[in-house]
Amino acid sequence: MLRGHRVTLRPICEEDLSLLWRLGNDINAKGSYWPAELYTETELKQKFNEHGLWQDTAGTMLIIDAQTDRLLGELYYFKGLLYQAGLEVGYRLYRPEDRGKGYMTEALQLFIAFLFASRPLPRLQLNVLKGNQGSRIVAERCGFQYEGTLRQAVFHMGTYLDLEMFSMLRSEAPSLEALLHESAVENNN
């Protein structure tokens, strides 16, 4: 587990699956920028049984409120294009009332520091649906740099939309050790 000041990050456990399935399929709470896709609980359990939703090239961590132990959201990584170096990351808060409170910024900082500390990656990248100001702000606060726009790159809600690509190089990433030390100091005060 990665313990920050406000959030804890951890891999998925079997007892999380039913709640994850309900939250992940709540179309009303997904917001305007998340795909309106549904999946079955059986599919989720099958993926979990195959690899625990954690592999070298793809994985998911949960974001837990450090004070209440309530599940807030998820962070994930995956291998994008095979010929590109590095991994792509993504993130999501499940409930609208948890957005805009700084949870995701802290969670993403811990996550990217962990990925760089645990894997020989030259870079991480993420894509933001054009117009998703909240996600763009999180990416920029965490130190991701805008690289360009992928025009009409994704089909979303009946139309093709642009994606804005951001990246972070290993040399630009925060140190996991420093972030964990900083969180420990804050939690002790």
Q: Which amino acid is at 74?
A: E
What whole-number distance in Å separates Cα of residue 113 and Cα of residue 94?
A: 23
The CA angle 153-157-163, to the nearest 5 degrees, is 25
Q: Is 168 in a helix, a strand, or coil? A: strand
Q: What is the pTM of this model?
A: 0.91
Fold for domain 2-188?
Answer: Aminopeptidase (3.40.630)
In order along its 189 residues, the chain shows pLDDT tens digits of 999 999 999 999 999 999 999 988 887 776 677 677 788 899 999 999 999 999 999 999 999 999 999 999 999 999 988 888 899 999 999 998 999 999 999 999 999 999 999 999 999 999 999 999 999 999 999 999 999 999 999 998 888 999 999 999 999 999 999 888 787 777 776
Residue whose token pair is 């609980």 = 41
In the chain, where the domains are located: 2-188
